[in-house]
Amino acid sequence: MFFLDIISDLELGKPGDRRKPEKRVNGVFWIILLNLGIYVADHLFKFQGIQSLYLYHNWPAWYQFITSTFCHANWKHLSSNLFFLYIFGKLVEEEEGSFALWLSYIFTGAGANIVSWLVLPRNAVSVGASGAVFGLFAISVLVKMSWDWRKILEVLILGQFVIDKVMEAAQASTGLFGLSYPLQNVNHIAHLSGALIGVLLVWLLSKTPSEPLDNEISSSPRKRS
């Protein structure tokens, strides 16, 4: 009976033990599906209207700074971005929720495109979620910031892998638009700016005043039974 009680405790937990309910993750899958859907419509079905979503630096429409983050040059470009989008998007959504994930994706992706548009030549065309991916990477690191040496080592190892693979995939799209200047320069700008904008977003949100939940509970009127 003693061993049965131990097994029961291990499997079911102790009586009265309250576990934090897991957050349901949906937002990252919708973003992935949207990226996949636009890619299929663009590259498989060849819908002409999809290319109007690209960011054309010579005369961009305002919405292209956002819509181009859901467009990709080829399958390698898309698959690499979706892989890291799932990892870091899921981390952000688990910590902050679906709305924060969508806000982070759009804010960092569009911000990276704005910086690229300001810096790059006017014959450039920008597509891809790389800026948003680097933004989500920065945000996921900051929201889980810890001085635990294992966490720091994990971030360093994963970080260099992210930079290497996303750069490689983005450079594979060089031939799509026939740009006359090295595309890796474009990627450096978009990736770095996406990460910095992610840091800025976390800093701005950290400055937003919010009352602790305990204060709200203690200050609310209680009904007597």
Q: Which residues are catalytic?
A: 130, 191
Please, is 107 exposed, middle or buried when counting C-beta atoms within 10 Å of its C-beta (0-12, 13-18, 19+)? Answer: buried
Q: Give the C-alpha separation, 200 to 183, whole Å.
A: 26
Q: If we measure between CA atoms, which residue out of 190, 198, 64, 68 comes closest to residue 120?
A: 190
Torsion of CA 75, 154, 138, 191, to 10 degrees: -40
Q: Give the C-alpha separation, 161 to 57, whole Å.
A: 30
Q: Give the C-alpha separation, 48 to 165, whole Å.
A: 30
